Amino acid sequence: MRRPRTKTAAKPSVRAETREPLPDRGSAQTLERHVGNAVRRARLAHRLTLAEVAKKAGISGGMLSKIENGQSSPSLDTLSGLSRALGVSLSALFQGFPTAEGGAQLVKKGQGMEVVRRGTKRGHTYHLLAADRGPRRLFEPYLVTLTDESEVFPRFEHPGVEFIHILEGRIEYRHGKHTYPMGPGDSITFRGEVPHGPDRLLRLPIRMLSIIIYGASDTAES
């Protein structure tokens, strides 16, 4: 004759006992989240709603929400629109970005904030490699990658002096009425207010370092 089985309390599973770790508040803040927090602080300081700021900046409320939560990398045009809508300078949105001890700002490989510009849908990328601190911008360094020769490029105009150094590929770069053939190791420096931009992509992919340097007479926003 079999003895009746005694029921025992079920042991909680390991999964049930496991809890998600709390976020480390002391961890490094991403550039996207830093900018998003700056936008939110400025909006709340002016007691503006998401809808009000989004309308003035020419973007959707959903996009603004993603920017404030650090879930989207806004383009320079979008940031410029937000700065005007909020009544702050563009550089103020980057001011105070945390740096490592000693004052250096380290951006690891592949972690530069991707800036959306014309050509992004075709695989062209612009990564901002540093965020200037202080009341006005001093420089903007970008790692630019071009991967599609069919893109029609606009002509850019902006304050300051631009320096371009080709890392990979070959390109014809236009500045004003002149074009300059460039390959790996070649550099070009020019005034940014003269219309300029890629003219022909001769060998893909093209990777180049672009640094815009602002002088004392240049405005804080382009």
> In this structure, is residue 17 part of a structural domain?
no
* 147 and 179 assigned to the same domain: yes
Residue 27, exposed/middle/buried by CB under 10 A (0-12, 13-18, 19+)? exposed
Q: Are residues 38 and 76 in the same domain?
A: yes
Model-level pTM?
Answer: 0.54
| Domain limit, last residue, from 99, 124, 148 | 99
Which pLDDT value is given to residue 16?
35
Residue after which a domain boundary falls, among 50, 79, 99 = 99
Residue 169 CB neighbour total at 10 angstroms? 19
Together in a domain, 88 and 120: no
**Do both 126 and 91 map to the same domain?**
no
* Host domain of residue 146: 108-222
pLDDT tens for the chain, 222 residues: list them.
455 554 444 443 333 333 333 333 333 458 888 899 999 999 999 899 999 999 999 999 999 999 999 888 888 888 888 988 998 888 888 888 765 556 677 788 887 887 766 555 555 788 888 876 555 678 889 999 988 765 667 788 888 999 999 999 999 999 999 999 999 999 999 999 999 999 999 999 999 999 999 876 664 444
Give the C-alpha separation, 20 to 111, whole Å.
Answer: 25
Spell 64-98 as b/e; 16+ CB within 10 A means b. Answer: bebbbebebbbbbebbbbbbebbebbbbbbbbebe
In a domain, 77, yes or no: yes
Do you find a cis peptide bond into 181, omega within 30 degrees of 0?
no
66 and 149 fall within a common domain: no
Domain assignment of residue 199, yes or no: yes
Do 119 and 65 have their domain in common? Answer: no
Is the domain of 140 the same as that of 186? yes
User: In this structure, are 64 and 92 located in the same domain?
Assistant: yes
> Within a domain: residue 161?
yes
113 and 83 inside one domain:
no
Q: Check whether residue 79 and residue 165 sit in a common domain.
A: no
Does residue 3 form part of some domain?
A: no
| 204 and 140 both lie in a single domain | yes
Same domain (yes/no): 209, 117: yes
What CATH number did the domain enclosing 38 receive? 1.10.260.40
What domain count does the chain have?
2
Residue 13, domain member (yes or no): no
Query: Is there a domain that residue 158 lies in?
Result: yes
Task: Give the C-alpha separation, 175 to 134, whole Å.
Answer: 31
193 within a domain of the structure (yes/no): yes
Report how far residue 43's alpha carbon sits from residue 51's, in angstroms, rounded to the nearest whole number: 11
Which one of 59, 74, 99 terminates a domain?
A: 99
